[in-house]
Structure 1
Amino acid sequence: MVQKTQQKQDKIRIIMLGGVRENGKNIYAVEVNQDIFILDCGIKYPENEMLGVDVVIPDFSYIQDNIDRVAGIFLTHGHADAIGALPYLVAKHDIPVFGSELTVELAKITVRSTKGAGKFNDFHVIDENTAIDFDSATVSFFKTTHSIPGSLGIVIKTPAGQIVYTGDFKFDQAAAPLYQTDFARLAQIGTEPVLALMADSANAESPYPNTSENDIGKYILELFEYHAGRIIVASVASNILRIQQVLDAAARMHRKVILTGRDLAKIVRTALRLNLLKLPTPDILVPVKDIKKYDDHQLVILETGRSGEPLKSLQKMATNQHRTVHIHQGDLVFISTTPSYAMETAVAKTKDMIYRAGGEVKTISDDLHASGHAYKNDLQLLLNLLHPEYLIPVQGEYRLLNAHAEIAEQAGIPADHIFLTKIGDVLAYDKHGMHLSQAVTAGNTMIDGLGVGDIGNIVLRDRKMLADDGIFIAVVSIDRRKKKVVSAPKVTARGFVYMKANHDLMAESADIVKNAVQKDLDNKELDWSNLKQNMREKLSRYLFEQTKRHPVILPVIMEVKPHRTARRAPAKRKPAAAPATGEADHHE
């Protein structure tokens, strides 16, 4: 047991730091008196307009401002939307992290692969029988069904009632023992007052039952049985259940399996070591370097891509840019997980590229309702088991949260006891019940390469402008003492117009720059900022009139100064250029 001794206070707040009105980035804070319990710590993958951004993590400002009150981080499962942002928080703060055995091992892989966080090792393995006593609350867990073993829901027992967080879950009556929901435990939780239920909404729009994983296994086997060529399976790296089904089907069809990608190999090795993944035959896995030793009908290639996102890797395979695998005639590409709505365009583009390369594509969603998340009836069953006083739909975009709310109303939850929150919202509970309180600072922190949080809206705006309309550069040399432009300005562009075909446009732009600069030089007081801004404004107005485009305009101003004449060398020297204060100013 872990114990803390602190003075009790009547204070319960639930804080949305992520995971609502968005796809991924699950992180929630539950405050009970002086303790703060962090539930999950995930990432989301960037939307198309976030040009160059690798991943998006939560804004940890509120946690950092209250770090002395944080009791721990409690993880529901080992997917990136639950553990991916962990390294960026524990790199700066030594906070105990709790999770099932597999979740902790995957969290360790994530932390150790991130620069600056590798030394963190305050992990604690728990299971469905664990209860951790704090002064203000008791934290316990229950088994759930998801696409990865060791998935747990979390219960925070407070003086006012229980707060239940499901994490990702679904109900599957035919689930294998590793993945079975503990219905008895859920019923037992429901015998005591449940103050608030924070439940998975990712599949709330679907009215169709999820296909049993037992039936999905049979479907994959049949797919493998009737295809004579090579099979390339695209899956999320941490979908252990799907990987097991692929291995089993490959063994039945006497095929070897090649794993591509370091993420996948690490996860598979970890699951094997923990006996959460079984090899149907000892020699079923072969190294990727041996790919040419086997005929097409003998191979299954399991591809997950970087950070578990396989679509980009499939596109590289289809265009002969992948380092080891090139799609050719007779290949079957099997996309074995149901893509989110946000990925539909990317999936369609990927399919087209695969067909152009000679392969064919099969998506599991073409034939089955396969999801790791609860659908309508599952959500209503959960409500009937727990009887919560308040419902807080989480884990999904707004339309999904709203669909969950409608489902709950049908199950008898009053509309005023359902909260459709946004990031930063705070739900406070007092003698008047649960209500919205003053919001906290929360939002997105963007990761680009090694940069954490140094990409903001202004940078993204400039990247979008560069992508849409390119860049226009104007270089001018001036003699401030003589108040004149020394030579004709040089203008150039990239990604804006083809310069050789727009000679008149470029010449006129140079004249506009010269006139704008000369006008400023004629003033008694020269201001560098005004000079550059005037250049931008006049160029921007002219270029838009001529092209209806808004390129990023980069003015470069050089000041020419004569060298002093040395005493022993009285001969005159040619003037040399020296950069002025505004030598290369990028507008932001």
Structure 2
Amino acid sequence: MLQNLRVIPLGGVRENGKNMYAVEVEDEIYILDCGLMYPENELLGIDVVIPDFTYVKENIDKVVGIFLTHGHADAIGALPYFLVENQVPVFGSEMTIALAKIAVSSEKKLRRFDDFHIIDEKTAIDFKNATVSFFKTTHSIPGSLGIDLKTSAGHVVYTGDFKFDQVATPEYQTDFGRLADIGRDHVLMLLSDSSNAESPYETSSERDISSYILETFKYHEGRIIVASVASNIVRIQQILNAAAQIGRRVVLTGRDLEKIVKTALKLNYLTLPDPNLLATTKELRELPPEKTVVLETGKMGEPIKSLSKMATNRHRLLHIKEGDLVFITTTPSHAMETNVAKMRDLVYRAGGTVKAISDDMHSSGHANKSNLQLMLNLLHPDYLMPIQGEYRLLDAHANIAEETGMPADHIFITKMGDVVKYNKGGFHLGAAVNAGDTMIDGSGVGDIGNIVLRDRRLLADDGIFIAVVTIDRRKKKIVAKPKLTSRGFVYVKANRNLMAESSDIVVKAIENNLANKEFDWNDLKQDVREDLSKYLFEQTKRHPVILPVIMEVNQNRHR
């Protein structure tokens, strides 16, 4: 009889991206995906956000492997950070493993790591307490697979990113028969994609999107600049096909795109309709506008940022000019809507025009309401854990499931670290484990916390105010008058009275501390901060970061 079955989301719930889920079966832990998340604007200076690996590290001897659903950053992006300290086997499809190797190769310590295992929809791996098998799903990248963990009590199924497209090409087709077979064999828990759960609209088929792209290319006479996500292989293929059909050549921008395209071509997941289709960036100036397609890609919001640079003559390769069409073939997240609106305005100012697939079609690589209900009806799970999406999307998925007849108490809207435990024939919420965000800034991993981010926000909002003073502690006097400066707070020359009064406040705070028999450096600096902060807020209604620098002459000490 099964004694221990627990499902633990370590990321990917109440957020977009950073998918990582631990399924614990007896004394074995199966890690499903290991992704990252690109930060929103309020995470100033942060490059990427990855899951907190604390729980997995504490139980690393139980981990049998990492099982990947597809090759997007939200599923594989955190691998380098995880594997550098915890080298465990990694399983995924041919395309997924190829992209995972590219991601891992950036980490010097992992250049000899080669514990990768290519699997496909026919693979079944027997471990001590569970059998792991896979099923084909439809997504915007080939080699996308769902994961099925078969235990003695029933199946735990993880969909990964998916949608249903009845006219998908063979390499992107969902295996409906396999899903139905799993559903007939008792699914205990379904972890299902919620990214598009709020959409009631039927998602446009990729065949219709291909026709739309071709029509757009046909009826524009000038240069076409296409924005897409680098890892959206199906969209890149559609762009290559359309360009070839009307006799245009395609210029690729960005190293990420070149690596991904080369990998996909090598594995035959991308095909070139014309061997001379691709042009180099050096050929860009020589190509006539009516024969040119520029494919600008990047991570999440990067294509939009690049287009803004093109429109303001700051891009390294090209500038938008009269007659250019900017064609957005990706659907930006809600967080990017303001940036997209600003970019559109800049493009029009530069003389170009903008067209977006999302203006005319419902394009998404994720399941809408009817797709989610179909998945539920195919698998008939006892319990559902909506994953991948902000809370409102998880809640929308829960409502969708209730419409199919699933009881509300069989749906778990979890947060990171929640433990959903199987006991006495049902799942229940147990004690949580350590989980959260680990922020990556440059080469630093996890060294940026809430206090540092708070200071960055204050610096961005109200600037910094620095007070430099030299004292003689033995003689109990100030040697040099305070030198005050600010950056991003006020213009010093226009605020002489404010600076003079601030100087007096600093002097008074220091003299009070020097007169105290129990002199303490921390108390001195804290008094300067508090007195200055109170005064500056009264005068300006701003809270700059205040940095007192106290130097001591006789001791040659700097505080």
Q: TM-score, normalised by structure 2?
A: 0.99
Is there any run of 5+ residues in structure 2 with no aligned partner, and where?
none
Q: Is the 8 A contact 2:230 2:299 kept in 1?
A: no
Query: Would you say the 8 A contact 2:99–2:260 is kept in 1?
Result: yes
Structure 2: how far apart are the matches of 1:115 and 1:325?
Answer: 33
Aligned to 2:401: 408
Helix, strand or coil at the partner of 1:24: coil
Note the 1:100-499 alignment, pairs <5 A: 100-305=93-298, 309-431=302-424, 433-499=426-492
Mapped to 2, the partners of 1:230 and 1:300 lie a distance apart of: 6
Query: Does the 8 Å CA contact 1:263/1:307 hold for their aligned counterparts?
Result: no
Matched with 1:532 is 525
Residues in 2 aligned to 1:358 and 1:305: alpha-carbon distance in whole angstroms? 24
| Amino acid aligned to 2:557 | P
1:112–1:119 contact (8 Å) kept in structure 2 = no
Q: Tell me the equivalent position of 2:10.
A: 17
Q: Is the CA contact (8 Å cut-off) linking 1:75 and 1:82 kept in structure 2?
A: yes
Maintained 8 Å contact 2:533/2:546:
yes
Residue of structure 2 aligned with 1:54, choices 22, 28, 47: 47
Q: Is the Cα contact below 8 Å between 2:2 and 2:153 reproduced in 1?
A: no
Deviations 1:202-229 (A, max 9, x none): 0010000100100000000000001111
Paired position in structure 1 for 2:556: 578
Aligned to 1:69: 62
Q: Percent identity?
A: 69
Question: Runs ≥4 in structure 1, deviation > 6 angstroms?
Answer: none
Deviation by residue 1:556-586 (Cα, 9 ceiling, x = unmatched): 001011xxxxxxxxxxxxxxx8233x2xxxx
Q: Which amino acid aligns with 2:556?
A: A
Match of 1:571? none
Cα distance in 1 for residues equivalent to 2:334 and 2:103: 26
How much does 1:63 deviate? 0.6
Give unpaired runs (5+ residues) of structure 1.
Answer: 1-7, 562-576, 583-588
Given that 1:237 and 1:308 are in contact with CA atoms closer than 8 Å, whether structure 2 keeps it comes out as no
Q: Which whole-Å CA distance do the structure 2 matches of 1:224 and 1:153 have between them?
A: 35
SS at match of 1:209: coil
* Count of aligned pairs between the two proteins: 559
Per the TM alignment, residue 359 of structure 1 is displaced from its structure 2 partner at its CA by 1.3
Q: Deviations over 1:182-216 (max 9, x none)?
A: 01111111110000000000001000010010000
Quote the residue 1:586 is aligned against.
Answer: none
Structure 2 distance, partners of 1:339, 1:470, is 32
Q: Which residue of 2 aligns with 1:5?
A: none
Letter in 2 for 1:411: T
Q: By how many angstroms is 1:307 displaced?
A: 7.3
Distance 2:140 2:518 in 1: 69
CA apart distance, 1:354: 1.5
CA RMSD of aligned residues (A): 1.1
Code of the aligned partner of 1:274:
L
Write the deviation string for residues 470-525 of structure 1: whole angstroms up to 9, x where unpaired.
00000000001100001211000000001110011111111110111011101112
Confirm or deny: 8 A CA contact 1:36 1:71 kept in the other structure: yes
**In structure 2, C-alpha distance between the alignment counterparts of 1:261 and 1:524, rounded to whole Å:** 64
Residue range with higher mean Cα deviation, 109-118 or 14-23: 109-118
SS of alignment partner, residue 388 of structure 1: coil
8 A Cα contact 2:465 2:485, kept in partner? yes
In the alignment, residue 578 of structure 1 is paired with which amino acid?
Answer: N
Matches of 1:345 and 1:70, distance apart in 2: 42
CA distance in 2 between counterparts of 1:118 and 1:374 reads 36
In the alignment, the residues of structure 1 paired with residue 468 and residue 94 of structure 2 have an alpha-carbon distance, to the nearest angstrom, of: 61
| Shift, 1:119, TM fit | 2.9
**How big is each residue's C-alpha offset from its partner over 1:252-286, in whole Å with a ceiling of 9 and x where there is no partner?**
11000000000000000000000010000000001
Who is 1:4 aligned against?
none
User: Is the radius of gyration larger for structure 1 or structure 2?
Assistant: 1
